[in-house]
Amino acid sequence: MKSVIAFLALTCTLVTAATTAAADSDFKPLFNGRNLDGWYTSIDRDGKKGPQDIFTVSNGVIHAYASHAHGSEQPYGGLITKESFSRYHLSLEYKWGEKKFIPRHDFVRDAGVIVHMLLPDTLWPNGVECQIQEGDTGDIWVIGTKVTSRVQSVIRNYSPNGDLVTRGNPNQRFHRFHRSYNWEKPGWNRLDLIVDGDHAVFKVNGRVVNEVIEMRQWNAETQKWTPLTEGPILLQAEGAEVLYRDIKIKPLD
């Protein structure tokens, strides 16, 4: 009997491993680990485009502010995909460095991922941001758009029964929805964004922390909100040393 149980356990393990491997094989690298092909940089220095030296690549990692002196004054930067995406699963890992820079030298380390970014690409462009910030990773920032989401109480697990709330108007660019819980840990963290047109789910280290029910963009000509269903992806550098790696994407079925 023990041998049968052991055999069944091994079979289940192999099936699970095979299924996981098949699912992982559906991902394609969005970052090739060698250079920034497929991406371009937008830098804000006093409201103007600046030298594109914030993002560098070394040992398969994108490193923001790698050569910049701790405590120096540095601009913010965005690393933007040249391609637009609509229905996809984006997966990446990030890790904080030690350095912080003026004007955010006295604040917690901050970065983020903007999905469905809208032109122009001045910082920060309109879109919907998954916050990457010490203690707050998974917050939603609504930037020049309108979002319906589930309001989360600060509990340990995400609740799909949260009240639906809509935030965003043409006259105020920034609105925030808090995540359900802080699942960030020291070292490398895994962030998964499952984006299905105007709907998105944010996961931190495998835990669902937020959900976007509906994304909308403002049409100045018609003076109406219209569905926001596609756009480039932007990785932020916001005054703190941060590293990104294993950036991959797969289309949704």
Digit-coded pLDDT (tens) for 184-240 = 999 999 999 999 999 999 999 999 999 999 999 999 999 999 999 999 999 999 999
- Average pLDDT for the chain: 89
Q: CA angle 127-52-118, nearest 5°?
A: 15
30 close to 38: Cβ distance less than 8 angstroms: yes
Q: Tell me the pLDDT tens digit for each residue of 130-170.
A: 999 999 999 999 999 999 998 876 667 888 888 899 999 98
Q: What is the pLDDT of residues 53-105, one digit of tens each?
A: 899 999 999 999 999 999 999 999 999 999 999 999 999 999 999 999 999 99
Domains of the chain, with CATH numbers? 29-251 (2.60.120.560)
Rounded CA separation 146/168 (Å): 4
Dihedral sign of CA atoms 93, 178, 238, 124 in order: positive
